Amino acid sequence: MPKNIITPEQAVDFLNEALIQDPIAISSLFQIRVFCNIKTVEHKSIQVFKTAKDSYIVGLLGLINGMFGIKAGTIGVECLGTTIKKFILL
């Protein structure tokens, strides 16, 4: 079965469409971070964050960016407070 290939630009368009449909749910979903193990930290493209207590967390955006790899472009967000206003390609 062939894979559906999407570009980072198409992912941004899709995420913005979802954001328009339900901004509270999408903003809340993308704010969730969970602790991750060393295998995730050492993954070649998943983006993680090191906390002040030397542990690591990962969120949905870090995982999505990992699908596109480090060099393929990074998806970011424009926020107003804790509410995502727009997904962007950095």
Instruction: Tell me what pLDDT residue 84 has.
Output: 95
Reported as a pLDDT band with limits 50, 70 and 90, residue 72 is low
Is the pLDDT confidence value at 11 over 60? yes
- What does residue 78 show for φ and ψ, rounded to 5 degrees? -105, 125
Placement of tokens 């809340």 in the chain: 28
pLDDT for the residue numbered 74:
87
13-62, pLDDT tens digit by residue? 999 999 999 999 999 999 999 999 999 999 999 999 999 999 999 999 99
Q: Token pair of 80, please?
A: 């107003």
Helix axes 60-68, 23-31, angle to 10 degrees: 80
Q: Which residues contact 59 (CB under 8 A, 6 or more apart)?
A: 30, 31, 32, 33, 34, 49
- Domain spans in the chain, listed from the N-terminal domain onward: 8-89
